[in-house]
Chains A and B, each alone.
Chain A
């Protein structure tokens, strides 16, 4: 009875601890590991000479990718250009959109539903499958820009662009932000500035917003960030001020997993020891079965069934107590992890059962009658 209570308490503790560790892991996973915001390094200027700086250039994309390749990071990170297309309007001329030209490979940073294929535009909400926009044609007038005419273009509309994504460092108060790929951005700029005397190259260069470097694994962000800094690029990324952030995340994960493994192993060892001890005090009962004509195989089967039932009841009870803890205010356990906890408990049940069967049940059922009686008396 005492063994059963100890086992139930230790399993409930394990379940609560596992839920806590799982929550911690989820938090790290959500905030860091799968959060693209922390994997993007924004580059908008570069140092020039001793005290000067310059705007980022289109050629810097190739330069950064060359740097990454030279440092063995070509597979781990890649630079992309982001263009800013000045205001365009919807067909009614009532809503103005800012458009960003983003490399097609980075569509996943904007939304799961955006593809950024040619001839498509991604917005927050689309009223139809296609979307017409009016691009103002700019002309030089009195040393400034003005526009009297527009060119209407129709795009395939994709929706789901969130107001906050990894492309931006800051939040956007209004969400009239639209996204197209690099080719479409060039096309829009060409239409928009066809009336000016500026060269295409100049127009494109002057509308380069920044370069973003996407790092696949958070653990490499520090290294890529430091590489860019050491090559005179102005960088901005979420954890640039944190010392050895990637290493800390790794060690936190290792620690969480280690604590979990230690708890699981401790539970298994406790369960095995208590059950083997329970079997030791069953020696007289085993002797009675042998005296009644049961052979080792039959006895082993009887006790395997008994131990399995005990373990199953303990597991069900501890899982039930975990479920009840959901309603206890200070605990309020997370039900999201209940299936994983059940799987974990089943794993513990299986390993405990196999260990007890191997080192307890088989041994006791094979013991000689006289040994069972002699040792059995020690417990009376």
Chain B
């Protein structure tokens, strides 16, 4: 295998053809931005890469230890604190409960949300929720993180901080980001345009 994820002739059709012979090989590290108009199949592609959906034909070959998916809509339990959300995540892993607190502290500190650990998710801002989702993805030290429109619901000033953070994280893992946001291009190592169901680099 040349990359950590290889897409080979991926086809996916709902009422219309969404992905049509989509091919690409993602390397082990780097920040990859996938652009495309609405309905171009960006989210479908991420769902296939995350294993949530199966392609109609074609093959996705992968060679990673762990993959995490940060959805556009934060997938956090709003009535629970940030710490409780992360604790729930760790509880599904093989880590020892005695390690949970330090892992949560370290990860949140790295994402500048260490001071929000005890806060309920409901009171967090859009940017803070995005970082919280990212913190949850990072807990499992995945090889690959997929992010669907990570800058969609945050203020312009905070976008740069988040993108800088993603760029930093991509030094030792693969980050694939779908976006409409032109600012992401400035930070991405590679920008891919998804058009008519296939990539134009």
Contact = CB atoms under 8 A, between A and B. Distances in A.
B101 interface: no
A289 B77 CA distance: 9
Interface stretch (A37-45, A197-205, A216-224, A292-300): A292-300
Interface in A351-380: 368-370
A291 B77 contact: no
B160 to A, nearest CB: 27
B181 interface: no
Contacts of B92: 292-294, 298
Contacts of B71: 291
Contacts of A178: none
A370 B47 contact: yes
Contact of A291 (B47, B53, B69, B93): B69
Contacts of B93: 293
B15 to A, nearest CB: 14
How many A residues are at the interface, by size bracket?
Answer: 10 to 19
A17 B95 CA distance: 53
A293 B52 contact: no
Interface in A183-219: none
A288 interface: yes
Interface in B28-70: 47, 52-53, 69
A285 interface: yes
A370 B77 contact: no
B88 A292 contact: yes
Dominant secondary structure of chain B at its interface with chain A? loop
B136 interface: yes
A236 to B, nearest CB: 74
B75 A293 contact: no
B76 interface: yes
Nearest to A377: B73
B89 interface: yes
A233 to B, nearest CB: 80
A370 B52 contact: yes
A288 B76 contact: yes
A285 B75 CA distance: 8
Dominant secondary structure of chain A at its interface with chain B? helix
Given A293-B92, A369-B52, A288 B75 contact: yes
B77 A288 contact: yes
B47 A292 contact: no
B75 A287 contact: yes
Nearest to B92: A293
Contact of B75 (A291, A298, A368): A291
B53 A292 contact: no
B53 A370 contact: yes
Contacts of B76: 288
Interface string A1-17: 00000000000000000
A285 B71 CA distance: 14
Contacts of B136: 292
Contacts of A369: 52
A294 B92 CA distance: 6
A193 B173 CA distance: 120
Interface in A282-337: 284-285, 287-289, 291-294, 298
Given A285-B77, A287-B75, A370-B47, A292 B52 contact: no
Interface in A158-189: none
Given A369-B52, A370-B52, A289 B88 contact: yes
Nearest to B70: A291
Interface string B87-104: 011001100000000000
Which residue of A285, A291, A368 has the most chain B CB atoms within 10 A of its CB atom?
A: A291
A288 B89 CA distance: 9
A288 B71 CA distance: 11
Nearest to B76: A288
B142 to A, nearest CB: 11
A298 B88 CA distance: 12
25 contacts: A284-B75, A285-B77, A287-B75, A288-B75, A288-B76, A288-B77, A289-B88, A291-B69, A291-B71, A291-B75, A292-B88, A292-B89, A292-B92, A292-B136, A293-B89, A293-B92, A293-B93, A293-B140, A294-B92, A298-B92, A368-B52, A369-B52, A370-B47, A370-B52, A370-B53
Given A284-B75, A292-B88, A292-B89, 17 more contacts: A285-B77, A287-B75, A288-B76, A288-B77, A291-B69, A291-B71, A291-B75, A292-B136, A293-B89, A293-B92, A293-B93, A293-B140, A294-B92, A368-B52, A369-B52, A370-B47, A370-B52
Interface of A: 284-285, 287-289, 291-294, 298, 368-370
